[in-house]
Amino acid sequence: MKYELQPAMPPPSNLIGVVGWLRKNLFNGPVNSVATIVIGFFLISFMVPVIQWIFIDSDWIGDSRDDCTSGGACWVFIISRLDQFLYGFYPEAELWRLQLAFFLLIGSIVWLVMPQTPKKGLVAVWLLVIYPVAAFFLLYGNSFGLIQVETHLWGGLSLTLVLAVVGIVASLPLGIVLALGRQSEMPIVRSVCVIFIEIWRGVPLITVLFMASVMLPLFFPEGMSFDKLLRALIGITLFQSAYMAEVIRGGLQAIPKGQYEAADALGLGYWQKMILIIMPQALKLMIPGIVNTFIALFKDTSLVLIIGLFDLLAIGQAANQDPKWIGYSTESYLFVALMFWVFCFSMSRYSQQLERKLHTGHGNRA
């Protein structure tokens, strides 16, 4: 008898394609089927009116509230005030300075993020050392022939980005120093770092900003003053550095003792051991925690509203008080929420990509 291997039969049509995915993920049992139907009913009941209000019945073209007649969202309100949402009260003739500064910032970040771009080290030095100085003179002016633009005119999304970027760039190295100091074997250094971290972690950020804005000038000598924005930046940086230090300390404690002993066996000094062996491993482990702190910092920048700085949220609230646009605060808050979500989600996605690239995710380590 001759046996011939028959070709494999295709799977049943109800196990592949869209039907197969639905059976496997949404209707793979009585409980899941009922839950899918109930949740789907509530999602459709909620999402259909929302989508209709945001997109279908909305108004996009016009320059006054008289153009909002469709009964949906009035995006004319946002479009007519878009410059204020983005740039605050920065003089219109000088907007090119803001745009150039953020173009350079975004271009540098994209250069560093893209895997195939060369000279990343030089771009990193430019971004961390030269760019902050250049951006300050570009935005503030009063030198190189540029007119001075006081910081109380800065606002909107640009001010939010300034607060977030400066806070992120400054708090990370300060947090590393504090974390190393807290683990130091020198009692004075360790005590100073512990006291600093515990004090700043025990105080709400809103109190720090209030102290920096109202109380701190009382301790300055007569005739001496600091810019309000600078005081807010210092307060945010010190506050976030305390949290960053604890995140990094957690990463340092996760490094096996053998790594320290191996570095000692190689004859490396303390700073060589930390820079070449320990800290790279700790930072890779702490990518989720570090990015989580960055996201929290980005959202906390909205608290500068209480000291009179008009960030993106404050600009939205000020626009809501305009008598010409009373009644359109929902559109304003939706736009502000969308802007915050875009930046926070982008940071989150990049951190996940970085985890996969460095193989530090829990799934990769399992």
pLDDT tens, residue by residue, 29-59: 889 999 999 999 999 999 999 999 999 999 9
**Confidence tier at 220 by pLDDT (50, 70, 90):** confident
User: Of the ranges 97-111, 220-234, 236-250, which one carries the lowest mean pLDDT score?
Assistant: 220-234
Question: How far is the C-alpha of 122 from the C-alpha of 202, rounded, in Å?
Answer: 39
pLDDT value at 219 more than 80: no
DSSP string, 305-318: GGGT-EEHHHHHHH
Question: How far is the C-alpha of 108 from the C-alpha of 327, rounded, in Å?
Answer: 41
Question: How far is the C-alpha of 17 from the C-alpha of 22, rounded, in Å?
Answer: 9
| Residue labelled with tokens 């190189």 | 144
pLDDT value at 70 more than 90: no
Look up the pTM and report it. Answer: 0.85
| Residue labelled with tokens 């025990």 | 202
| Residue labelled with tokens 């979500």 | 341
pLDDT at 120: 83
Question: How far is the C-alpha of 353 from the C-alpha of 46, rounded, in Å?
Answer: 33
CA neighbor of 182 nearest in space, from 193, 174, 167: 193
pLDDT value at 364 more than 60: no
More confident residue, 210 or 160: 160
pLDDT at 332: 94
Per cent of the chain over pLDDT 70 is 98
> Is the CB of residue 141 less than 8 Å from the CB of residue 104?
no
**Confidence tier at 158 by pLDDT (50, 70, 90):** very high
Give the helix ranges, DSSP H, for the chain. Answer: 17-25, 30-51, 75-80, 82-87, 95-113, 120-125, 131-140, 156-182, 187-201, 205-210, 228-254, 257-265, 270-272, 279-285, 287-300, 312-320, 329-358, 362-365
In this structure, the number of other CB atoms found within 10 A of the CB of residue 322 comes to 11
pLDDT at 211: 86
pLDDT at 181: 93
pLDDT value at 365 more than 70: no
CA neighbor of 85 nearest in space, from 308, 328, 339, 303: 339
pLDDT at 115: 78
Burial 140-162, CB ≥16 within 10 A → b, else e: bbeeeeeeebebeebbbbbbbbb
Mean pLDDT of 272-284: 89
> Is the CB of residue 287 less than 8 Å from the CB of residue 351?
yes
Question: How far is the C-alpha of 317 from the C-alpha of 326, rounded, in Å?
Answer: 11
> Is the CB of residue 227 less than 8 Å from the CB of residue 149?
no
Instruction: State CA 63 to chain mean position distance.
Output: 32
CA neighbor of 167 nearest in space, from 112, 257, 88, 232: 232
In this structure, the number of other CB atoms found within 10 A of the CB of residue 365 comes to 9
Sign of CA dihedral 114, 119, 120, 122: negative
| Residue labelled with tokens 């004859």 | 267
**Confidence tier at 366 by pLDDT (50, 70, 90):** very low
Distances, alpha carbon 272 to alpha carbons 267, 279, 349, in Å? 9, 10, 32
H or E, element range at 155: strand 155-155
pLDDT value at 145 more than 90: no
H or E, element range at 310: strand 310-311
pLDDT value at 107 more than 80: yes
pLDDT at 1: 66
Sign of CA dihedral 192, 167, 352, 118: negative
More confident residue, 71 or 298: 298
pLDDT at 118: 87
Q: Which two tokens stand for residue 120?
A: 């990343």
pLDDT at 191: 95
| Strand-pair partners of 74 | 59
Give the DSSP letter of residue 286: T
